[in-house]
Every structure is written in C-alpha cells, then in structure tokens.
A and B are shown apart, each in its own frame.
Chain A
Amino acid sequence: MRLPALALGLLLAGCQTEPWPAPVEGSTYRITDDRPADGSELRIDLLADRSQCLDAGIADPEACVPRVDRAHGEVRLAFLLRDPVSGAPVHRALDAEQIGVSHDGSVIDDFEIVPHDPVSGGQLFVLLIDSSGSMYENDGERIAKVQEALLSPEVVKSFFPDDRGRTGVVLLRFFGDRRVGLDGGPPTVVTSAAEYRRAIRQHLPTRQGGYTLLYDAAEYAVTELLTEPAIDEFLALQAAEPTIVLLTDGFHNEAPGETCADNVPRLSDALDVIRRARQGTGASSRFTLYTVGLGVPYRKGDKPDGFNQAVTPAGLCGPYADYPIDPNLEDAGIDHVSLRWLAEAGGGIAFTRRDPRGLAEVFQRAASTRYRWYELRYRVPDSFHHRYAFDVRVSLRGLARAWSELTILPGAWLDAPTGRRAPGERWTSPSPLRETFVLVVPVVGVLLVLGHLGPAWFNARRAIFRRSRPTSDAPPRDGT
C-alpha cells in the first residue's frame, strides 16, 4: 500500500498545474507567454502556441507556431502588432531594419523577418510638404527634387498599386501658419495616378513663402486633418489606415531671432498631441508618421536614446541652444533631431535625404505593403546557447516604442529529430517525429540480426569444418 502511494506521490510531484510554460510543438522545448513592455506604443504580440495563432485569426497555424532547433541554434517566432489599449491588430510594413532581436540579452544580427498575409484593405497617404521660402530658393532646386521623387514611376506605383481606388493620396503643403491642399484649397483625396501626377506637376512648383511651422503641421496632420469629412469618409469606406509623410528642409521657426531653445516647449507640446492622438481607438488613431528631412543635419549627434525622453535644450539643440535659427542654424542644415522625435512619437521613421532617388526610396518605403503578421527567424552561432533557458526579446526600432519578450526553455534531456536544411536554404525545416522510426527500426533490426548471428556463425563454422556431417570416406552408420 505504501509503495503505490509513494509512486503516486512522486508522479504528482512531477505535475504542472499552470498552463505556462507550454510545449513547443515538435520539440521538447517549452515556452512562456509573452511579456509586453509597459508603456509600449504598440504591443508586440509574440504568439507562443497554436491556440494564440488561431485566436489571432491566422489561417496557416503551421507557419505560425513557434519552432526551435537546438543543433542549428534556430528559433522561429510569429508576432503581430496590436493596439496597446484596444488590443486590435495593427498592420504595419516591417522590415529587418525596424526590428531588434536579442537572445538572452545578446543582440542578434543573424535574423530574418518573413511577412505573412498582406493586408488587402486600403491605405491613405498624406504628403505634407514644406512650402516655406527656403524650399523655393535657388530657382526652386529643392522643390524640384521633391517633384522628381514624387513623380518617379516607382513611387506612383507604390501609391496606386492597382486601379481599384482603395488607396488615396492627400497632397498638402504648409507654409507660415497655413496648411492647405496643394492647390490652395481644402484637403481632398486623390485616388488615381493620373490625377495625382497632374496635381503634382501643376501645383507643386507654385511658389509659396513664410516661416516653417513644422510642429504645427505635424499636430494638424494627426488631428484635424484626419477628421476632415473627406478623409474620414475615405478611411471608413476603404478600411484604410493613414500614413503621413512630413517633409521639410529646415527648422520649426515662427519669427525672426528665435533660438533653438525656443523650440523645446513647442516640440514637447507637439509630441504630447501626437502621442495622445495615437491612443485613440478609431482608424484615425492608427496613423504612422514618417518625417523626411531634405538636406543634411545641421549638427552632429542625434536625439537622446530612449523612449519618452523629455525634450530638453541639450537634447534638442546640443551646444546650439542659444543660436538663432534664422539664419544661422537653418543655413547649416535641417533639424534632424526634431524629425526623429516626431517620427518616434508617430510610430514611424525619420529619414534624411539629399537627392530625388533617396526621397523616392523613402516614399516607396512609407507606401510599402502592410502585413497582418510576421515570422521572426533567428540563429545563434552556437548550440550552446540552447542549453539553458533563454529570453527572446523583440523590439521595434523607430516605428514605435515597443518591445516584448518571452522565455524559451529547452528540454534538458531529449530532443526531437534535428531539422534539415535543404541545399541553398538559409533556414532548416523541422523534421517530423516519424523520422525517429528511421533510427529505431534499423537499430532494433541490427540487434535482432546480431542475436541470430551467434547460432548462424556456430552452425556455419561446424559445417565448414565438417563437424556436422561425417567425412566422405566414412562407412554407413550402423544405426546403434
């Protein structure tokens, strides 16, 4: 009686009552649920098991479930982006440059992002172009670069990938305290490539002037503009999400004699507006704000590292806090630090480009296809790093302040069959469990054969050495 009770007790001691860590399918690994960072602007939802994949509406759960391979040091994880408040999926165009991956604290360089399920919904591109006086200097050299980039066939194709009218472009310019359509009228949604080309050619070169109220333009783009009836209607009808591109060649500057330090409270206010706008629940709150600086940075150095950094004179201006913007700083280049701050708050990326080709790349990137979910594949250089529990952290770079992590617990005793890497393939494919038969059956077969080799060899030897039958010259047996 005591023995079975003891056995039962031992078995119960080995039970796990919590659902996590859960098994990683096809392996002896376990995985915990993901732990998103507090205060993330986007939630990176790392999908830790099949049920989470199915709950996320992913049609191909086989590609979604986590995969691991100790021999090759590989890990595959699926993730999607969610609104941190509502939990609704947020579709973004991501590439490897926008993702950071760390394995137990070590930054991973050898990784790949595989997008899945392109979003078929519409997209609204808002191009907010600085039309201050500086853009038209030197016979409109800068505005000509912008025009060339916007009219390049690749960019047009990106903005209007098909003729179904599901994507639209809002062309705006800002100068002084005005934010108007390219033609000077109210904002309208352009839904055809021909109309877009015509508007660019006809209205963009038209000379404007005035100071650059960059922060006000950004605030306007993420608030008032997106609630304009025409814009709001397009977003609702096409289930579209807005992508805002803010292009400038200088500094936020409202009056003569202002210094860089004067911009500190203004930028801070603008960031607050943008962040608040992103915390809403409607389509208008799911915007992405890209900023583009046309020219060169006015100083070395960049925005201080870290999210939610308070704007300070040192952080924004470096040693030039008391320098006047016009003409000193503006002549030196563009305020790339403000652009970085704005893009970061808007979930986008800040770019600095000098030529039409560079600008075209930026526009194309802003218009790239968005996907519902992504697969992250990475490899550590040594399988040693799979011999203990490790944290995998996935973070967004530039797009938004977000990271999430989970813990993977490799089995300490056994492994499923090692994955195979096909010739030319970068990543291994998991081997099915039935491959264990390839190992077990031959080995058991060899053991069986070896078990019969003894008598076989014994009898063969006796036959060869004529022990088992009489010699040929033998007389017949006498039968006794």
Chain B
Amino acid sequence: MNIYLIPYTMARHVVTALPVGGAALLAWWWTLWFIVAMGPVLHARGLWWSQAAEGAWFLANVATAVAFASVLFEGSLRRRALRWRFGFALLAAGIAFVGAWLAWAIWTPLLPLLGGQGMREVLADTSLVTLRYRLPLWIGAGLASGVGPLCARGLQRLLSERWGVAVDPHPPVGGWTWSLAGRSTFQHAGGAAAGSLLGAAAWHALGFYDWLQGDLYLAGAAGALVWGLGHGLLVWGIPDELYAGWVRVLSPERHGLRIPIPRADGSPAERFVGHFPRGLDLWLPAARGVAELHASFVVDEHHRYAVRGLSVEPTVVRRFLETIDLRYDPQRPAPLETSLRMEDQILLGPEGETRLEFLLLPKEEH
C-alpha cells in the first residue's frame, strides 16, 4: 500500500484494517488448506500433528499473519527500505508465532484443572467445540499478535533514536518517553486482545448458531477476518507525521499554486501570505483583496497546524457549518489563530476575493 492512496480523511483510520484483515483471512485459508489437503498426504508419510495442536496452529498462523501485515504495512507507508521493511515484519511475525504457541503451551495443562473432576473428561476432548474454555487461547494469541509489532516498532525507534540508524525516511517524531511507551503498549496489547476477542465472538456466533451457519467453515473465516480487521483498526493508526500541510490557492488567478507549511526536515515552521513583492512565502495580488502581510500558517513540533490572521483586512476560515473571523484586533496583543483541518477554506479580502485552502498531503510530496 502506498501513502499516496490514503488521503487524509476519515478513511485513513480504516485503511490499516484492510490489509491486516486480508492477511488474517489468507492465514485462515492457508491453515485450512494445509490441514485438509496436506494432512492426509503428510499422514501417509508419518508426519502428523496432534489434533489438540490444531487450534494452536490456527491461532498462531493468524496471529503471525496479522503481526506481519501490520508492520509490513507500516513499513511500506513509511517508505522503509525493503530489508528493514521485511526484517521488522518478520521479527513481529516470529514473536507473534512463538507467543501464540506459548499461550497454548501454558493454557493446555491448566485447562483440566479448572473444570473440576466432573469436567476433566469433557475438557480433555480435543474435539470439543467451546468458546468458554478456549477464550484464553484467543486472548493469548491476540496479545502475541500485538506484542510482536510492539517489539518491532520499539526496536525501530530504538535504532533510530539511540544509534541513529536511518531505518525510515520519515521516522516517528518525538523522543522516547514513558508516557509514549505506556500508550503504545496499551494500544498494542489492548487493541490486539480486543481484536482477537472480536474474532472469537464471530467464530463462536457462526459456529454455534445453526440459523447463522452451524459449522466452523465460515466461522473460521469470519473469526480470522474479524480478528484482522479489529487488530488493524485498534492497534496502529496511520500517524499524522506521514502527512504534511499545504496551502493551496483556489482563486482563479493563481489557481492550484501551493506551498508546504513544514520545513523539509519536518521541523516547526510558519508560512506568510500577503501582497508583498519579496520575503513572503506566498505572494498574492492586492487586486484580490490581499493585504501586505495578511495571514500566516504555522505548524508546531506535534504536527498541529493553525492559521493566524495578521491583517485588519477581512480574514475568514470557513468549514462545514462554521465560520471563524481571524481579522487582526489591534486591541489584542496577539493575532487570532485557529487550528486547521483538512480542506478548510481561508477567505482573504472584503468580499473573500482570494480563497486558499489547507490540505494535508502525503509527506512524500514534500
């Protein structure tokens, strides 16, 4: 996936879920194909796995695919070099795979202890279709699918910040803090566990209720798909740092002219707009109601964008159901400013003769 294909709209929150969900579905398909098609072939050659381990295979494969797809997707959006892209993805996948098997190895001996004497025989049945007693396996595998990417992303940040390895053209902004680490851990662990729980719910609903499906064919597919979608939605979102703000002219005279707001290195910046032959970042004709130093666009170190009204001439920000007057008030010591959102329009001049818009575009265009 290319960052160019992901405009800075609400859709960007969903896009991560799509490849991760697709990868999870393919993991389900691969697991099913392996069991059904390859199983008899391998069995004939004496290579065979215990039925008790089949659930671990399924969950580990999905967790691996989810972790791999999540980190690989991030790497492709960040334009990471292929060796790093696949290296981190494989690291995440490996940790998820081992983690899912660990969850199985820990839970399996514990399970018979939970049910009491009467339930031991039932719970020892490897064919027992149950969500109640398999839920910890789902959660464990879900956690593993989150821990893998968490470790990979942590290592990537460590390499960049501690040792200065140029892993990404656009590395994550901001230094390492405990707060950041805590938030990231919560997002990865909580989001991944929630994703796997959603998958478990879908698996159970389709597998248990005859009026929905009543077998585990579509249930397995839905479980994996929902798990992947949930993981993609909850664990890692496309960060704002991959986008750069632009001022674009909508007025007919210079229609389409645009300038970036942040500097090339992504550091905070302020861009000035006005009618002044030199020294301004965006020159616009006075005939269109533009004052000499009319407005400025700023971005801080957290990639937050704002526009300031620097002139007593009319300066208005207009967005859906909202109009903000930024005209400079001489009574105030500082100019008025407002934060900017994607596609906000900025009208300059008494009649709004000059129209600008604020755009967030992939940083690659910078």
Contact = CB atoms under 8 A, between A and B. Distances in A.
A470 interface: yes
Contacts of A389: 125-128
Given A23-B40, A455-B6, A457-B11, A387 B127 contact: yes
A475 interface: yes
A414 B122 CA distance: 19
The residue in B215, B221, B250 that gathers the most chain A C-beta atoms within 10 A of its C-beta is B215
A413 B19 CA distance: 23
B343 A467 contact: yes
B218 A25 contact: no
B54 interface: yes
The residue in B25, B36, B250 that gathers the most chain A C-beta atoms within 10 A of its C-beta is B36
Given A28-B35, A478-B254, A451 B18 contact: yes
B262 interface: no
Interface string A1-34: 0010011001101111001011101111010000
A458 to B, nearest CB: 4
Given A383-B214, A450-B18, A414 B53 contact: no
A10 B101 contact: yes
A27 B36 CA distance: 6
Nearest to A69: B215
Contact of A414 (B5, B43, B214, B220): B220
Interface residues of A, number: 66
B129 A471 contact: no
Contacts, number: 201
B257 interface: yes
Interface in B1-24: 1, 4-7, 9, 11-12, 14-15, 18-19, 21-22
B264 interface: no
Contact of B32 (A19, A23, A436, A448): A436
B225 interface: yes
Nearest to B21: A447
B11 A412 contact: no
Interface string B234-255: 0000000000000000101111
B269 interface: no
A282 to B, nearest CB: 37
A71 B6 contact: no
B105 interface: yes
A469 B249 CA distance: 11
B217 A412 contact: no
A455 B3 CA distance: 10
B210 A383 contact: yes
Interface in A448-475: 448, 450-455, 457-458, 467, 469-471, 473-475
Contacts of A439: 218, 221
Given A440-B29, A455-B5, A474-B255, A412 B225 contact: no
Contacts of A410: 127, 129
B87 interface: no
Nearest to B217: A415
Interface in A351-392: 382-383, 386-389
Contact of B5 (A25, A30, A451): A451
A411 B98 contact: no
B36 A454 contact: no
Given A417-B217, A418-B217, A454 B11 contact: yes
A478 B253 contact: yes
A383 B217 CA distance: 13
B92 to A, nearest CB: 14
B128 A14 contact: no
B55 A412 contact: yes
A218 interface: no
B86 interface: no
B12 A414 contact: no
Nearest to B6: A454
Contacts of A473: 252
Contact of B98 (A3, A386, A388): A3
A71 B254 contact: no
Contacts of A452: 5
Contacts of B5: 451-452, 454-455
A59 interface: no
Contacts of B122: 388
A75 interface: no
Contacts of A433: 32-33, 36-37
A412 B252 contact: no
A237 interface: no
Contact of B22 (A30, A436, A447): A447
Given A19-B43, A70-B216, A475-B252, A26 B36 contact: yes
Contacts of A164: none
A470 B252 CA distance: 6
Contacts of B94: 3
A416 interface: yes
Contacts of B28: 414
A477 interface: yes
A70 B29 contact: no
6 contacts: A14-B52, A383-B210, A387-B127, A414-B28, A414-B216, A440-B26
Given A51-B44, A480-B254, 13 more contacts: A6-B98, A14-B57, A15-B48, A71-B214, A411-B51, A412-B51, A412-B126, A413-B216, A451-B5, A451-B18, A455-B6, A457-B11, A477-B256
